[in-house]
Amino acid sequence: MIEVSELSVSLSNRRILHDVSFSAAAGAITAVIGPNGSGKSTLMKAICRDNAYTGSVSINGRDLTTMTPIEAAALRAVLPQSSSLPFPFTVYEVVAMGLTAGRSGVPLSMNKRLPEMALAAVDLAGFGGRYYGEISGGEQQRVQLARVLCQVWTPVLDGAPRYLFLDEPVSSLDVKHQLMIMDVAHRFADAGGGVIAILHDLNLAAMYADSIVALREGEVAGYGTPAQVLTDDIIAEVFDCRLSVGATPPPGMPFVLPQSAGRHSAPAHFTKVA
Amino acid sequence: MASVVTMLEHKSASADLAAGDRSNLGRLAIVVLSVLLLIMMAVSMTTGASGASAWTIVAGWFGAVPDHAEQALRDHAVIYNIRLPRMLLGVLVGAALAVSGLLMQGLFRNPLADPGLVGVSAGAGLGAVSIIVLGTTMLAPVTALLGIYTLQIASFAGGLITTFLLYRVATRSGQTAIATMLLAGIAIAALAGAVTGVLVYVATDSQLRDLTFWSLGSLSGANWTKMAASGPIIIASLIAAGFLANGLNALTLGEATAAHLGVPVQRFKLLTIVAVAGATGASVAVSGGIGFVGIVVPHLLRLIIGPNHRYLLPATALLGASFLLMADAISRLIVAPAELPIGIITAAFGGPFFLWILLRKRAAFAW
């Protein structure tokens, strides 16, 4: 269980997050949604201890500030939005960096094969020999996910659940791989681990998340199951635009459709030149 | 049977390579470079202005009686008191300069960082010059306190201060801008140069002779005293560097990600900076400014075995040592019986090499 309580973050005297509280259970996917600038990435940085914060964050009952980097690395792995490398590493070498903390959870003799298994899990089997800088952005994002999976390969280690923190894990992926990556997260949670994912696609959140935290201007505007959070009122307030929430045929999963205000109703920002 | 096993092993090694795992290549490189270093050490011991032959000494160990006892005695002195400390110092300084370059490139996440290029050597030089010029007057208490280590520790301090300064100026939230780093390096080197200039201006004639000798960048002054003063600092720095390999790999993904992978980033950076300052400072103190070793050697090896620091670090130390011994041998032979300063040789190799890197990477750097 990850518990975030009364978390506040201010950067250069500007309040970015205010009194954010929620918990992310092991065995579940917790999605964080919200418009640009609502504080999603700041929240991710705070729970990774990249930013100073007030309030408290605990992982499996232990306060984050009492952990050494190596202890934290054994409990959670973090997927950044993007990573560039200054040196020509191969894909295999990048994925193997996930083994830095040495707590993958598999026997040492298997460690050498682990990067290949992780690459297969993100549909990049056989990519190990390619140079990281020479593959596409979407492929790089999946390579980084494979690295993250290596770090916490067994979702439960010594009886303690471990966690994946994913910052927009599918932002540059095609639809097939979006579903595939979310399936990987889903299997990780099914096996007893926990996942916190920042998602822009509300329908992916509806489909995969067990609970959703909706942020608006640094505060929690909605928190609960997808059915509780993805309602017309909350979504319209959070995103400040017209969206329509429906329900799929049984099992009744919510879905969200954007509603255009119409081609002609927008004020004319552009001047037509005859 | 044995050949089948060898074949299988060979096959699995090349399969690893195809799968992107270059660790076998790295291990092979370390073995090859160790052999190369042994050869260069032998070459260094057997070449020089005097006709002294290391082989007669080796023969002596095995009980061979020399033809001319007097000649043998002189050879003995040349080998033990001149060539041996020079060779050992060459090994240590070469390894130290190359590893310093590699550490800075890892720390700054930037293949162009090098103590010589970004002012760290200039800062270390300022420390050394301060002691040469002021060591008997203003800084006499320091000299009295530190004894034979004074020059080394002053260089170390100079290198440490410039590295910290450079890091503070050029790095913002874990990202180093290449242009800022190089320009800050120029500014810091200019500042250190100005203060050094003032010191040279007030130096006495005999101090000037020391300064000139030192600033040419040479191993020619090598002796056992210098070895005793610089050797331990360089060896300690190299041993410390050995513990940084995994952290340097993680750091290439950025400081935040390195921390997420379990690296205690602040402590790690401090240790790296101290190791760079120690290795560069102790080298500069004993051999003056020898440039380009730290950029040529790691870059060349990265092209061959890849950037994994677990193999790149030891390989860089080995090739750096060989490279400096080779440059030293050339500097002794090219105008024998006189000597060229070794810095001229390394610059003659390094300058064109650096330009080649820039041309190759022009598109990637885009500035």
Residue B105 belongs to a domain = yes
For B150, how many CA atoms within 13 A lie in the half-sphere containing its CB? 18
Degrees to nearest 5, angle at CA A90 with B263 and A114: 65
- For residue B262, which residues of chain A lie inside 8 Å, CB to CB? 69-70, 72-74, 100-101, 103
CB contact under 8 A, B261 and A74: no
Nearest chain B residue to A79, by CA: B257
Whether residue A130 lies within 8 A of chain B, CB to CB, comes out as yes
The pairs formed by A102-109 with CB atoms below 8 angstroms and a separation of 24 or more are A103/A73, A103/A74, A103/A151, A103/A152, A103/A157, A103/B262, A104/A150, A104/A151, A104/A152, A104/A153, A104/A154, A105/A152, A105/A153, A105/A154, A105/A157, A106/A153, A106/A154
Check whether A43 has a pLDDT greater than 70: yes
- For residue B109, which residues of chain A lie inside 8 Å, CB to CB? 86
Q: Using 50, 70 and 90 to split pLDDT, how confident is the model at A262?
A: low
Quick: pLDDT tens for A186-202.
999 999 999 999 999 99
Check whether A51 has a pLDDT greater than 90: no
Please state the rounded mean pLDDT for residues B74-79.
Answer: 78
Residue B43 belongs to a domain = no
Entry pTM: 0.87
- The residue among A41, A75, A93, A112 with the most chain B CBs within 10 A of its CB, best to mutate, is A93
- As a whole-number percent, the residues of chain A with pLDDT over 90 amount to 71
Q: Taking a C-beta distance cutoff of 8 angstroms, is the pair A176, A142 a contact?
A: no
Ranking A156-170, A247-261, B192-206, B259-273 by mean pLDDT, the lowest is A247-261
Whether residue B298 lies within 8 A of chain A, CB to CB, comes out as no
Q: Using 50, 70 and 90 to split pLDDT, how confident is the model at B63?
A: low
Check whether B290 has a pLDDT greater than 50: yes
Q: Using 50, 70 and 90 to split pLDDT, how confident is the model at A128?
A: very high
Whether residue A81 lies within 8 A of chain B, CB to CB, comes out as no
What is the pLDDT at residue B116?
80
What is the pLDDT at residue A272?
65
Whether residue B261 lies within 8 A of chain A, CB to CB, comes out as yes
Whether residue A105 lies within 8 A of chain B, CB to CB, comes out as no
Whole-angstrom CA distances from B239 to B31, B242, B245, B278, B317 are 19, 5, 11, 11, 11
Between CA B185 and CA B121 the distance in angstroms is 10
Check whether B293 has a pLDDT greater than 60: yes
Question: In terms of DSSP bridges, do strands A163-167 and A76-79 run parallel, antiparallel, or are they unpaired?
Answer: parallel
Residue B23 belongs to a domain = no
- The residue among B21, B27, B357 with the most chain A CBs within 10 A of its CB, best to mutate, is B21
Please state the rounded mean pLDDT for residues A140-163.
Answer: 95
Between CA A3 and CA A58 the distance in angstroms is 5
What is the pLDDT at residue A130?
93
> Between residues B53 and B223, which one has the greater pLDDT?
B223
CATH code for position B145: 1.10.3470.10
- For residue A115, which residues of chain B lie inside 8 Å, CB to CB? 21
CB contact under 8 A, A85 and B253: yes
Question: Closest Cα of chain B to A237: distance in Å?
Answer: 33
Whether residue B249 lies within 8 A of chain A, CB to CB, comes out as yes
What is the pLDDT at residue A264?
53
ipTM: 0.90
Please state the rounded mean pLDDT for residues B313-322.
Answer: 97
Whole-angstrom CA distances from A32 to A40, A167, A179 are 7, 9, 17
Q: Taking a C-beta distance cutoff of 8 angstroms, is the pair B330, B49 a contact?
A: no
Nearest chain A residue to B15, by CA: A129
What is the pLDDT at residue A110?
85
Whether residue B19 lies within 8 A of chain A, CB to CB, comes out as yes
CB contact under 8 A, B20 and A91: yes
Mean pLDDT of chain B: 84
Check whether B28 has a pLDDT greater than 70: yes
- For residue A67, which residues of chain B lie inside 8 Å, CB to CB? none
Quick: pLDDT tens for B184-220.
888 988 998 899 889 888 888 888 877 876 776 778 7
β partners of residue A214: A33, A222
What is the pLDDT at residue B1?
44
- Backbone φ and ψ for A55, nearest 5 degrees, come out as 95, -165
Instruction: For B280-311, give one letter per residue: b (16+ CB within 10 A) or e.
Output: bbbbbbbbbbbbbbbbbbbbbbbeebbbbbeb
Between CA A16 and CA A18 the distance in angstroms is 7
Whether residue B178 lies within 8 A of chain A, CB to CB, comes out as no
What is the pLDDT at residue B2?
46
Q: Using 50, 70 and 90 to split pLDDT, how confident is the model at B4?
A: very low
Assigned token pair, A264? 């002609």
Given 3.40.50.300, 3.40.50.970, 3.30.70.100, 2.30.30.830, which CATH number is that of A2-83+158-260? 3.40.50.300
- The residue among A68, A87, A97 with the most chain B CBs within 10 A of its CB, best to mutate, is A87
Helices A114-121 and A137-151 meet at what angle, rounded to 10? 130
Q: How many domains does chain B have?
A: 1
Quick: pLDDT tens for B170-187.
877 666 666 787 788 889
Check whether B9 has a pLDDT greater than 60: no
Quick: pLDDT tens for B295-311.
999 999 998 999 999 99
Whether residue A89 lies within 8 A of chain B, CB to CB, comes out as yes
Q: 């140079």: which residue's tokens?
A: A131
Residue B238 sits in which domain range? 31-38+83-363
CB contact under 8 A, A100 and B261: yes
What is the pLDDT at residue B341?
82
Q: Which of residues 218-247 of B touch A (CB under 8 A)?
A: 246-247
Q: Using 50, 70 and 90 to split pLDDT, how confident is the model at A171?
A: confident
What is the pLDDT at residue B174?
61
What is the pLDDT at residue B255?
87
